[in-house]
Amino acid sequence: MSQKNSENGVYINGKRQVIELLQKMDSADKARLLKNLRTRNPALAKELTESCISFESIWDLDDSCLKTVVSQVQPAILGLALSLVHVKNQRRALSLISREMALKAFDIMQKDLTGNRNECFRAQQKVLELALNLHRNRIIQFY
Query: Do residue 47 and residue 67 come from a single domain?
Result: no
Query: Do residue 67 and residue 45 come from a single domain?
Result: no
Query: Do residue 46 and residue 77 come from a single domain?
Result: no
CATH number of the domain where residue 5 is located: 1.20.5
pLDDT at 124: 97
SS3 letters for 42-107? HHHHHHHHHHCCCHHHHHHCCHHHHHHHHCCCCHHHHHHHHCCCCHHHHHHHHHCCCHHHHHHHHH
Q: How many domains does the structure of the chain reveal?
A: 2
pLDDT at 1: 43
Query: Do residue 46 and residue 67 come from a single domain?
Result: no
Average predicted confidence (pLDDT) for the chain: 88
Q: What is the DSSP letter of 11?
A: E
Compute the radius of gyration of the chain from its Cα atoms: 18
Query: Do residue 41 and residue 93 come from a single domain?
Result: no
* pLDDT > 90: percent of the chain: 55
Query: Do residue 65 and residue 21 come from a single domain?
Result: no
Query: Do residue 103 and residue 65 come from a single domain?
Result: yes
Residue-number span of the structural domain to which 96 is assigned: 61-143
Read off the pLDDT band of 7 (50, 70, 90). Answer: low
Tens of pLDDT, residue by residue over 90-141, are 999 999 999 999 999 999 999 988 888 999 999 999 999 999 999 999 999 8
Q: Judge whether residue 10 has pLDDT over 80.
A: no
Report the pLDDT averaged over residues 14-19.
81
CA–CA gap between residue 84 and residue 112 (Å, rounded) = 12
In 3-state terms, what secondary structure has residue 6? Answer: coil
